[in-house]
Structure formats: C-alpha cells, structure tokens
Structure 1
Amino acid sequence: MTTLVRRTRNLLGSEIAGSVVAFVLVVVIFGLASPQFLSRATFGSVAFQLPELGLLTLAMLLPILTGGLNLAITFTANIAGLTVAWTLQANGGVDAGPGSFLLGVALALAAGAASGVVMGLVIAYTKAHPILVSLSMMIFLRGLGEFLTRGGDVSGFPAFLRPFGHGSVVGIPLPLLIFILCVALWHVLLSRTRLGFNTYMIGSNIEAARYSGVNTRRVIVLVYTLSGAMCAVAGIIMLARFNSVRVGHGESYLLITVLACFLGGVNPFGGFGRVIPVFAALVVLQLFSSGLNLLGANQHLATAVWGILLVGVMMLRWLAGHFRTVLRRKE
C-alpha cells in the first residue's frame, strides 16, 4: 500500500496533492451547505464555464514561468473576439458563412499573437519589467476597444457558432474538449520541447540561461506570442458562449488566473510549474465559484473571496517553504 501511494505521488507530483485536498474540502463543504451542489446540473455548468477561464490561465502560465506576467490577457482575448465579430459583420452578420468565420479566427489569432509579440520585444530588448509592459498593453487595448465599440457590445452572429459555446460531442461540452486539447498542447510544449526547457531555465536564472547559450530574447518573445495566441482562442470561445463581445468581458478572470497558477504549484518568481496541477486547481476554483453562486453570494463578495484566497495561498506556500528549511537544518 505504501509503495502504491509513493508511486502515485511520484507520478502525479506533490502539486496535485494540494488540489486533491482542496477538491475534497470544496465538495464536502458546499455539498453539506447546498443539496443542489452535488448534482449533474452543477458539474455540467462547471464543464461549460471552465474553458474560458482555463484558456486564459494557460495564457498566463507561460509568462509566469519565465518570471514575468501578462496583465493584458482579458483585453487581448476581447480584442480577438471583436476581430472575429467585425469580420463576420463585414460579410453579412447573421448570414455570414463558415469561410468568413475561419477568416475571422485567423485574424483573431494574428491580433492576439501581435499583442504578445509587442510585449515580448519590449521586455526582451529594453529589459522593462513585464508588469509595466503588460499593464501598458492592457491600457492600450482597453482604450482601443472602447474607442472602436464606443463602450457597447457587438452582437448578431451566425447560428453555426452556437455549438462552439454551448454544443457537446458524445456528451462532452465542445468548449471543454477545445480546452483539454490546449492543455495537452501546453503540456507537450513545456515537457517535451526545447522552448519549454528554455522557458524553465529563464525563469530559474535568466543570466545563467544566457551564458548557457540560450537565446533568451527569442524565447521571451515566443512565450508572449504564444500567450497572446492562447488569449485569442479564449476570446473566440467567449464570443460563442455569450453571443456578443465587448472590451470588458471577463475582467475579473485576471485575478483568478493568477490564483489558479499559484494554487497549481507554479512558482510566482518563475522556473517551476506544470500544466496538469494547474488544470486540477482550475477545476477546484470553478467548483468553488459554483458553490458560492448556489449559496446566493454576491459577485463582489466572490471577488473579495478570490483576493483572500490568493493571499492565503501565498502565505501557505511561504509557511511550507519555511518549515522545509527548518527541517533541513535539523537534519
């Protein structure tokens, strides 16, 4: 039995353990508080709501692993969604065909990647702090979106887009399948490619990575480019789910993506973190959000809870590191 536990821990990693404990606590607490929590409807709702937050979290993950941050993820996603919306409207709106949608998707991915390229170039070549650079991009994209839409929504899309936000394949929500595919892609990228290895190296020590022959500038630009492209995927899914786009959709997701990364064992200073534990943390956070909704919690209260959780996670991580240091000294 002990051998089985040890093998399971080695296979999944210690980061999963925290998410498993959190999952059990959330299910037990909210299951006792609300009899509707442990229902098929709740888990179905989680399955449809998880992808948009999950895709944005994947977009946040890569920059954090390099020791950076991308504060512009939600606005990049919305600009990408607006790009698709404008392309469809220019080709007939509700009567636009699949070809127009594919063109819009290509332009949206290009817009998201372009946002990442600009941030990556500025960070890599000027050595400006990623927080300042991504904050500047966030302000720019928000202002641009507000100017182009005059603060309103863009809606009126073809009916064939609805399955991308609400459809299912063999009982599994299509957005969830897209998200799982992106999780698998990010997992392979980080664990099986040179870019993934170099990303961890830069996050651990960028100067050591440079002296080891890693083209750190190129890696940073690629990381932020991929982050922007993943934001675009999230923006397209959000367009299909809400059947409308506006520049302020999902602003509260920014805090939760950072929380999901930290809860999933990602080092906030870069260099360490895996995709699968972050995926597990996302499931826990989405269940927690659904539990709060069932209890009738106000949205502003839920946002406050996210902030408290973020501070709590960081304190627990510090305490765990402190105790590990004390134990090593005793040994």
Structure 2
Amino acid sequence: MTFSKKVRALVGSENLFLLGALATVFVGFSWSTPLFLTASNFGSMAFQLPVLGLLTLAMMVPILSGGLNLAIIFQANISGLALATVLLHFGGPEAGVGAFLLGVLAALTAGALSGALMGLVVAYLGAHPILVSLAMMIFLRGLGEFLTKGGDISGFPPFMKTIGHGSLLGVPIPLLVFLAAAFVWHIMLRHSKHGFSVYMIGSNIKASEYSGLNTRRTLTMIYTISGIACAIAGILMAARFNSVRVGHGEALLLVTVLACFLGGLDPFGGFGRVVPVILALCILQALSSGLNLVGANQHLSTAVWGLSLIVVMALRWLADYINPSGRRRT
C-alpha cells in the first residue's frame, strides 16, 4: 500500500479533502492579512463557532434520517425564552444558581417537547418533515413574538456572562460545551442502536420497518434529540448576548444545512459522520472571519458559502461519475 493510500485509509478521503480545504483557507487568509493568524482571531472564532455547531448537530440527525428540521432557530429561541422567564421570575439579575438550573431544565424541556411533537406527527401521521418543521417554525415564531411583544428580554444574573464569555484552562466554555455535544453525537450515531436505526431509516424506511425496527419510536427520538440540541444552543445564545429575542440567529438556518452537506451528509439520508461536519464548520467559520478581517461586506460571506456548496456538489457529482461504485451508504 502506497503512502497516500495509507493516509487516506487512516484519515478518510472525506476528512482528507476537508482538511485540505481548511488548510487552503488558512493559507489564503494568512497571506491576505496578518491579523488572521492571531490569538484574538482564533479566540473570536472559538466563541462564535459553538452556537452554529450545536444548531448544525440539531440539523444533522434529521437529515441523516432523510428529513429536515427547519424550526431549529426558533426552537433555540423559545428555549432561551423559557430560561429567561424563569430567571426573571426569580429576580432577574439577582437570580441564583438554583434558579438558573431550573431555567436550564425549562429550556431543555421546551426544546425537547417541540421536537417530540414534530417527531410524533412525522412518525405517526406520515406528514413530510419539511411541512411539519415549517409549521412548527411558524408557530414558535408567532408564540415568541407574542410573549416578548416583538422585543428583547434581558437582565440576567452576572454569572451567566461566564458561560457565554468565560474560559476554562484557556478554552472557551461554549467551545467545550459544543465539543462535548459533538462527542455524544459521535458515540450515539456510531456506537448505539439508535444511531444504527437512524442510518437504516435514512437509507430505506420501508426496509427498516420490514426488518423489525421501531421506526416510529426512532423518528420521535430523532426530533426530540434535535430539539434538545437547539435548547443548548439557545442557552448559550442567551448567555452570550445577555438577552433573548425571537429573531436571534435567523441567518444561521441555511448555514447549518450548508455545513451538513459540505461535511458529506447525503441529502437523501443514510450517510454522514460527525467529524467531517465539524471540519466543514471550521471551514465556514474561517471563511467568515477571514472575509471580515480583509474588510469584505458581510453579505459576501453568504455568497461565498453558497458558492462553496455548489462547488462541493459539483465535485461530488464528478467523483460519482468517475467512480460510481465508490459511493458509501452506511
């Protein structure tokens, strides 16, 4: 076996491609501006990435099952609103750690319930996930606007700033939360019965039913877990922005889909892994930060992200055309 084949076998062809793309982005922006390879820029990226990362994990599992969750942003915001409501009830800035933990429980419950409701409708009524999640998105947005009267809710205890802006042993706390969630996602998908069922449903739901898998229970769990990831993202957003608003993070919805597809997920379900998705997130975050440092308009980042997805799809089509038997479906 040649050296290149050994490297490809060890790292994985998908990861190798993404690592090469990440290195290219780093080299390009390092040459363009001396501010890119600085501790302050890396720190900024490390604080910005986790919320997008958690929302991407929330989007990832539904896509693996052949579905989609368009409600992730508003699930995160309604969860943050649940946290804020509890904190304000216990005095806002004077609320203690106990009130915060109760608020976290309320946030996780709100995210899980909204996800479970979507999962039940998809699983037991057979409704299309796009329509179900779109309906949930509209409902949560309207509910959030009604509860907040279209404004912000702020006035949280000072210790929440530590969660959103603090570090532990030099590593940002939000990044540690995201890495822990990514590790749990990896174990769940690759080393659990639930993960096996997710891939089977994404590959062929009818065959999964005939093989004896409880597809309804799995679908319900998929969207429940997605809602929990959204709730964690909502808690981090509340801690980072020191406020809760229904519209926080609206621009991130399509970026999560882009990160999933850039990370190798099959848009029809059945194939994808956590590590390539994390690498894709790093590429998108580096692109955004680099373009910001060179003074590019923020809308250019969105255009570059969209172009990246087109390029990736074209390259994958070319790879499948050249080697149609090399595509994996596991």
TM > 0.5 between the two? yes
Q: Does the 8 Å contact 1:255/1:307 carry over to 2?
A: no
5+ residue gaps, structure 1, are: none
Aligned length: 327
Is contact 2:114-2:224 (8 Å) kept? yes
Matched with 2:163 is 164
Q: Distance in 1 between matches of 2:170 and 2:5?
A: 35
Using the alignment, how far apart are the partners of 1:32 and 1:278 within structure 2? Answer: 26
Contact 1:255–1:306 (CA<8 Å) still a contact in 2? no
Q: Secondary structure at the match of 2:323?
A: helix
SS at structure 2 position matched to 1:159: coil
Cα deviations across residues 263-305 of structure 1 (Å, max 9, x unaligned)?
Answer: 1111111000011111111111111110111122222232232
| Superposition map of 1:77-92 within 5 A | 77-92=76-91
Structure 1 partner of 2:146: 147
CA contact (8 A) 2:122 2:132 kept: yes
- Superposition deviation, residue 192 in structure 1: 0.7
Aligned match of 2:258 = 259
Name the CA distance, whole Å, in 2 between partners of 1:129 and 1:310: 24
| Greater alpha carbon shift after TM alignment, 37-46 vs 190-199 | 37-46
CA distance in 2, matches of 1:233, 1:210: 32
Distance in 1, matches of 2:169 and 2:112, equals 32
Q: Which amino acid aligns with 2:309?
A: L
Equivalence for 2:245: 246
Q: Counterpart of 1:151 in 2: which secondary structure?
A: coil
1:194-218: CA deviation from partner (whole Å, max 9, x where unpaired) = 0000100000111111111001011
Opposite residue 123 of structure 2, the aligned amino acid is A
**What residue number does 1:12 align with?**
11
Structure 1 equivalent of residue 123 of structure 2: 124
Q: Using a 3 Å threshold, how does the CA distance of structure 1 residues 89 and 204 change in structure 2: closer, same or farther?
A: same
Cα deviation, 1:65-103, whole Å, max 9, x if unaligned, reads 000000111110011011101110010000000011000
- 1:233-279: CA deviations, max 9, x gaps? 00001111111110011111111111111111111110000111111
Q: What is the rounded CA distance, in whole Å, between the counterparts of 1:13 and 1:316 in structure 2?
A: 17
Partner residue of 1:284? Answer: 283
Match of 1:281, as an amino acid?
Answer: A
- Aligned pair in 2 of structure 1 residues 235, 326: CA closer, same or farther (>3 Å)? closer
What is the match of residue 228 of structure 1? 227
Partner-residue secondary structure (3-state), 1:234: helix
1:44 counterpart letter in structure 2? G
| 2:215 aligned partner | 216
Q: Is the 8 A contact 1:162 1:240 kept in 2?
A: yes
Q: For residue 2 of structure 1, what is the aligned residue in structure 2?
A: 2
Flag the 1:323–1:102 CA change in 2: closer, same or farther, 3 A: same
Partner of 2:99: 100
Alignment of 1:5-84 (within 5 A): 5-84=4-83
CA distance in 2, matches of 1:319, 1:125: 39
> What is the deviation of 1:18?
1.8
Per-residue CA deviations over 1:38-75 (Å, capped at 9, x if unaligned) read 11111111111110000000000100000000011111
Look up the SS of the partner of 2:34 in the other structure.
coil
Q: Is the 8 A contact 2:152 2:243 kept in 1?
A: yes
For structure 1, which segment, 168-177 or 28-37, has the greater mean C-alpha deviation from structure 2 after superposition? 28-37
Whole-angstrom CA distance in 1 between matches of 2:325 and 2:107 = 50
- Whether 1:325 and 2:328 are equivalent positions in the alignment is no
